[in-house]
Amino acid sequence: MLEQLAQLETEALQSLEEARTLEDLDRWYHAYLGRKGALTAILRSVGSLPPEERPVVGQRANEIKQRLEAAYNARAEGVRQDQLARELEAGALDVTLPGRPVGSGHLHITTRTLRQIYAIFAEMGFQVYEARDVETDEMNFGLLNMPPHHPAREMWDTFWISERATHASPLLLRTHTSPGQIRVMRERYPEPIRVILPGKCYRYEQITARSEHQFFQVEGLAVGRRITMTDLIGTLTAFARRFYGAERRIRIRGSYFPFTEPSIEADIDCILCGGKGCRVCKYSGWLEIAGAGMVHPVVLSNGGYNPDEWSGFAFGLGVERPAMLKYGIDDIRLFYSNDLRFLRQFG
Ligand code: FA5
């Protein structure tokens, strides 16, 4: 038995030397000192030995147990240190490496364009007024001289929010910023007005390279005692030259909007070909920049202003389309498809 113990000790110490990882150590401990380990088995069997052998074998077995435990603790510490050193080396922190740059954001091209437009009109004395996105049928159409069933309503395909049949004035997503005209007039009467109304508009229409179903407009409204068409044309010309370039020429064409009389559309000479004709202007030499006109007497009185004493002009500019012209962007869908490669060009 004593011989068996000596052999066990030699073998155990040898195999402990070979343990490289904490898992190896664990296995070793179970094999010799665990509940089912070889040494534990011998210690348990001491009771069944002849009485004269018991003290000697018991004592020797306990000595070996203490030595193996001490050897195990020392080896475990060594393995832990090695493992730590290996981990530190693998995950070494190189403090001389350059840091990862933290990119700073910038304004979206639409926001930038809106701010350019605000700045130009601010110099001409226009204040910014924000109206609401969700409007009533009455504000979006009725009070703008388009009673129910007026054919001009077909000019704007509408996203309805409430049932048309069950509401006196159903809700909708505004199809243009023009309902803001009524809201400002009702709020400001009897003062003269000079405001721009920026905002998002919604149209239930096909998305194409030129048309989105959500886009921005900037409405302009001036109401005073002696406002004329000349003021409107002067204002649009001043805007076009500031926004598109000082050399721009303006062309005015007759048009139709139910809420202005007379109605016009303003074009600029093509910024790419200067009027000679090219792909951008579809070989006409001109690009449309705004719908406009003198505020219709019905609309003035719906806003609370007596059309015999007051007159006014209004215009509606897009925002994305002017930006497309200015920066040579040929697809409006790029604005809101969140492709950073596109957006970063306008930082
Ligand atoms: C209007 O919406 C009128 N309310 C403008 C107006 C205001 C006329 C005041 C008279 C007085 P129109 O539907 O043409 O007009 O739209 C005006 C501008 O909005 C267009 O010139 C264009 O720049 C922009 N726009 C219209 N539809 C879209 C669309 N689907 N996607 C992008 N921009 C659009």
pLDDT at 85: 85
Q: Would you say the CB of residue 314 lies under 6 angstroms from ligand 1?
A: yes
From start to end of the chain, where are the E strands? 127-128, 134-136, 171-173, 193-202, 214-224, 250-257, 260-269, 286-295, 311-318
Please tell me the residue having the least CA distance from ligand 1 atom 30.
211
Among 135, 200, 205, 217, residue to substitute to test ligand 1 (most atoms within 8 Å of Cβ): 217
Cα dist from 156 to 95, 172, 205, whole Å: 62, 12, 9
pLDDT at 58: 87
pLDDT at 165: 66
Q: Would you say the CB of residue 315 lies under 6 angstroms from ligand 1?
A: yes
Please tell me the residue having the least CA distance from ligand 1 atom 18.
318
Please tell me the residue having the least CA distance from ligand 1 atom 9.
315
pLDDT at 342: 96
Please tell me the residue having the least CA distance from ligand 1 atom 25.
318
Spatial neighbors of 273 by CB under 8 A, at least 6 apart, are 280, 281, 285
Report pTM: 0.74
Q: What is the pLDDT along the chain (347 residues), one digit of tens a residue?
A: 788 888 988 898 898 888 888 888 899 999 999 999 888 888 888 888 888 888 888 888 889 899 989 989 988 898 888 888 888 888 777 788 898 888 889 999 999 999 999 999 999 999 999 999 999 999 999 999 998 888 878 778 899 998 766 677 899 999 999 999 999 999 999 999 999 999 999 999 999 988 999 999 999 999 999 999 999 999 999 999 999 999 989 999 999 999 999 999 999 998 888 889 887 788 999 989 999 999 999 999 999 999 999 999 999 999 999 999 889 898 999 999 999 999 999 98
Q: For tokens 């199809």, what's the residue?
A: 175
